[in-house]
Amino acid sequence: MPANALADFRRIVIKIGSALLLDQERRLLSDWLAGLAEDISILRDSHKQILIVTSGAVAIGSHILNIQPRRSRLEELQAAAAAGQVRLVNAYQEALGRHGIIAAQVLLTPDDTEVRRRFLNARGTLEKLLEHNVVPVINENDTVATDELRYGDNDRLAARVAQLVMADGLVLLSDVDGFYTGNPRIDPQAQHIPLIREITDEMFEMAGTPGSAVGSGGMTTKLQAARIATHAGCTTVIASGAVERPLHALASGGKCSIFVAENTPAAARKQWLAGILEVRGELRLDAGAVAALRDGKSLLPVGMVEVIGNFRRGDAVTLVDASGAELGRGLAAYASDEAVIIRGRQSEEIESILGYRGRAVMVHRDDLVWFGKDDKALKKA
Ligand code: GLU
């Protein structure tokens, strides 16, 4: 196992549980947060991009509004989240700001990662923030999320974010220092497993042992998150955050469990794209576009000769050459009615044609799978 679990990652999603941020009285532990911010600053100095997924809004808000979370109704908790989220994100902004790092608040609902049309937007925004060297501080949009439509826990949200931005590392920080074969607090035989290459049903059984302090839902949701993330090409680390400078501890060989990704994020994304069965339209490309796509570039409107079918933004379309042969497949950044109008036009003209400043590309290279043999994008993956 590597001494530094974070060494190979370039883009890391770090999930922080409420228990790490707050003391028994639900007051923010600002010294702990200061240590975390210092760790993040060091990781960024070694050219790693960081996204934070943080819990704590409900806990902080219920303290501010003086309500008991366990005895409160949904709307009360949602009100608490609204009050708590401001303070939560301010605390991050302040801690990161001391290192000259800009924080940006992003609140997500499942539609933003599960519905393709919305996912293109959420991803576009997160990518822009990273491009601007900002650290996104993400939470679920608890104030409007309803019970039926929630991530429910931030482990899953963090895994979805990792998948969305094609992160290669996900770190779940909580009060548990890894995966055990049983509950180490009551079972002296329980063994810590440092490296996991496959998440089995048996592991879920171990995690879900009733009465287990480690496994009371906490480890199950972590395993579920690890399953989503590793499947999306993102290696997942479960480690304890209950120490000062938790990421420094991890980078210095601290105890953890590493769930190794099945693939790279790019290869996993392409596999997923290739597997989308419902194709809603067809784009016929000119020779220039075919050559550009073969080189791993995005499809620009100027390269489209014909738009066939009725599709919406985010739907899958096939990409064909002049002879009609299918060369690849991708997610459309524009609906068919708009694609027809911008077909063959330069990206700079889009605003004057459509009346709003849309995307420069018709199919982004991250949303494209090329079936041709000399696919550079696939080779990169
Ligand atoms: N989004 C919730 C909050 O900020 C936390 C959910 C979780 O703990 O996983 O309070």
Confidence of residue 185 (pLDDT cuts 50, 70, 90): confident
58 lines ligand 1 (CB under 6 A): yes
153 lines ligand 1 (CB under 6 A): yes
What number is the average pLDDT over the span 51-62? 94
Tens-place pLDDT, residues 246-304: 999 999 999 999 999 989 998 998 888 888 878 999 999 999 999 999 999 999 999 99
What are 25's two structure tokens?
Answer: 């009285």
Confidence of residue 156 (pLDDT cuts 50, 70, 90): very high
Residue whose C-alpha is closest to residue 313's, from 165, 164, 118, 126: 118
Most confident of the ranges 63-72, 80-89, 349-358: 80-89
CA of 186 to the centre of ligand 1 (A): 27
236 lines ligand 1 (CB under 6 A): no
Confidence of residue 148 (pLDDT cuts 50, 70, 90): low
Give the mutation target among 16, 55, 62 for probing the ligand 1 site: most ligand atoms within 8 A of CB: 55
Neighbours of 321 (CB within 10 A): 18
CA of 149 to the centre of ligand 1 (A): 14
CA of 16 to the centre of ligand 1 (A): 10
CA of 55 to the centre of ligand 1 (A): 4
39 lines ligand 1 (CB under 6 A): no
Give the mutation target among 53, 139, 151 for probing the ligand 1 site: most ligand atoms within 8 A of CB: 139
Please provide the average confidence, as pLDDT, over all residues in the chain: 90
- Comparing 219 with 343, the larger pLDDT belongs to 343
Ligand 1 atom at minimal distance to the Cα of residue 18:
8
Confidence of residue 206 (pLDDT cuts 50, 70, 90): confident
Tens-place pLDDT, residues 213-256: 443 348 889 999 999 999 999 999 999 999 999 999 999 999 99
Tens-place pLDDT, residues 121-139: 899 999 999 999 999 999 9
354: amino acid identity, one letter: L
Query: 25, exposed or middle or buried, with CB in 10 Å at 0-12, 13-18, 19+?
Result: exposed
Ligand 1 atom at minimal distance to the Cα of residue 157:
9
In DSSP terms, 140 is beta-bridged to: 108
The full set of domains in the chain, from first to last, is 11-262 (3.40.1160.10), 270-380 (2.30.130.10)
CA of 227 to the centre of ligand 1 (A): 20
CA of 111 to the centre of ligand 1 (A): 17
CA of 155 to the centre of ligand 1 (A): 9
pLDDT score for 209: 58
Q: What is the 3-state secondary structure (H, E, C) of the chain?
A: CCCCCCCCCCEEEEEECHHHHECCCCCECHHHHHHHHHHHHHHHHCCCEEEEEECCHHHHHHHHCCCCHHHCCHHHHHHHHHHHHHHHHHHHHHHHHCCCCCEEEEEECHHHHHCHHHHHHHHHHHHHHHHCCCEEEEEECCCCCECCECCCCHHHHHHHHHHHCCCCEEEEEECCCCEECCCCCCCCCCCEECEECCCCHHHHHHHCCCCCCCCCCHHHHHHHHHHHHHHCCCEEEEEECCCCCHHHHHHCCCCEEEECCCCCHHHHHHHHHHCCCCEEEEEEECHHHHHHHHCCCCECHHHEEEEEECCCCCCEEEEECCCCCEEEEEECCCCHHHHHHHCCCCHHHHHHHHCCCCCCCCECHHHEEECCCCCHHHHHC
